[in-house]
Amino acid sequence: MAFAVEGPALAPAAVAHITHRHIALSPILLTGILLLSYGGYGLLVRWGERRPVSELALWRAPFELGAGALTGAVLMIMIYVSLLATGLYQEHQSGAPEWLFQALACFATASLEELLFRGIAFRILARLLGSVPALGISALLFGMAHLIAPDASILAAVGIAVEAGLLLAACLMLTGRIWCAVGLHAAWNYMEGPIFGATVSGHVRPNALLSSSPADGASPLWSGGNFGPEASPVTMLIGLVAFAAVMAVIIQRGRRETGKLA
């Protein structure tokens, strides 16, 4: 029932997700698709499922977007510094970033992907199978979706699933809304591409503040190769640690709630 209700809202987001992997959609077009997808999803859930669209509730959106963005930025700084410190990455001449243009593109793309993979896929899987199976399956789907990216590989897809798919779904579990995941996802991509100048999921970001690439002689298995840092075991490890930290908070909260009911 849920898939039938939300299918029309899923379509434009899915088209944008697939298309922007091959051509650079303008931020204006992405924003239009974003508004259409979120608006359509909200209306269909209200009318079809006859419930409040709690996963898109706006009352905590500013705080959760900010908290997620801060977390995503810190994680990517940790990843970038680790790659430089281990000699897996090197810096080049810096460029002239297009701050607003790139920020809007990162936010719109992250918002669409979070609606697809966390707001719809994870939520429905959790309803059908439970949260734990939904974590793994939605993360796997998220990783597989990146196989269409340039220079993608099985290792890259596993990396995306492990370091990002699990963490982003855990953010939804923690808050009950997608905003924290949107902020984390957008800031992660923004720091990785427009700021550090690394390849983001196989896509080169022009006009970055810095410019970086795998160091000469660095093994692609460790640096991530042409796909970028997201295929590096270093990134997977940091993402897994962050996921474990979020899950620890969720578990501890559950224990407190159980104690209150006892």
Residue-level pLDDT, tens digit, the chain, 262 residues: 444 444 444 544 444 444 444 445 666 777 788 888 899 888 888 888 888 899 999 999 999 999 999 999 999 999 999 999 999 999 987 766 677 788 888 898 899 899 999 999 999 999 999 999 999 999 999 999 999 888 999 999 999 999 999 999 999 999 999 999 999 999 999 999 999 999 999 888 778 888 899 999 999 999 999 999 999 999 999 999 999 999 999 999 886 655 554 4
Contacts of residue 119, Cβ cutoff 8 Å, sequence gap at least 6? 41, 55, 56, 172, 178
Query: Helix crossing, 99-114 with 179-190: angle to 10°?
Result: 140
**pLDDT at site 20:** 47
Q: Which residue in this structure is represented by tokens 């719109």?
A: 108
Contact criterion met (CB below 8 Å) for 75 and 238? yes
* Burial (Cβ within 10 Å: 0-12, 13-18, ≥19) of residue 257: exposed
* Burial (Cβ within 10 Å: 0-12, 13-18, ≥19) of residue 256: exposed
Contacts of residue 24, Cβ cutoff 8 Å, sequence gap at least 6? none
**pLDDT at site 13:** 46
Q: Which residue in this structure is represented by tokens 């977007």?
A: 65
**pLDDT at site 204:** 83
**pLDDT at site 26:** 65
Q: Which residues of 113-128 are buried (b: 16+ CB within 10 A; e: fewer)?
A: bbbbbbbbbbbbbbee
Give the pTM: 0.89
With CA atoms as reference, report the closest residue to 251 among 172, 174, 169. 174
